[in-house]
Structure 1
């Protein structure tokens, strides 16, 4: 991290970063480590979670424009979280928290079942080489973990600039019994709540079409 990011971590982490009890790995979450969102944010409000929040551009914009909702940024890269805190502090955002941890373990162990109203996965690493496809986040196993965390009627939103990955995500979620499509046709309309970031512009400039998906969490039986 830069000196500024180091200072941000020291000065701002107590305000923004959630403590995640660890299992064996540095970014793991120990089973049984669930938080109570109402205690963390100090109120009862809708909870929006972004997986792979990067430097936080999308979630800071959303948290600023939706002050009545609560937001959680999940990221494993410390420098990205530090940048997020710096920008959040500059924007006086108070409804945002961050956690440095693996996303599946956050959804499975840190967040209570049915506690997430919206789950965002925007531009996850495509691992576009065939030999690396197995490292992709969105798999049938992940869909089941996401379904555990998302409340009945909640929304799972995804976006990617890699067509093959978009098709894989759609195939996985179409087959997931806990989710139903929230769109007609091939792809969802662009989510209006997703701010246009430099990352998305880069993909567009490279000639890659942005594809969105949206799914509703079915009511639990």
Structure 2
């Protein structure tokens, strides 16, 4: 085999390896958490939208102890964020837009206090593990209710699903892509070894003089 043909062949194999590596990297990129959510301990900020469709979006949220939730009114209709006093952990602080310490005063004062107009927000940091249920005072009757689950580590609490990691610590699908990349590299090395050992033209071994 001529050197030019050999370089062309091995260059093509190298391109396949590079392509496989690029695909694996792209798959890993799509597996990471998006937005402001993610693991890594307390201090993460999560956003819940309050919409003119009269819903909390998302209505259910899992966070870690020490994380902060920001409720943003992305519409024009006023809302409130008010905890159900009997449906939060016993040791946890009560929370409600308007700064109330109990549920009934928050209900009584709305809308003079506790209303969150369009474009404004309310936030609360959760320190105590457990389940918190809350609602919007003017739209409770139509089901504008939300739930927040506070856990130590999101991955352990998820119990599987899309965030579950493979035993080697990589998402399952990118792991298989990576294995295919390694296989291509191995095939390329075997091909190169075979060409170097057996691929010479019969004429290249002629050491005699003359053409």
TMscore range, shorter length: under 0.3
Highest Rg: 1 or 2?
2
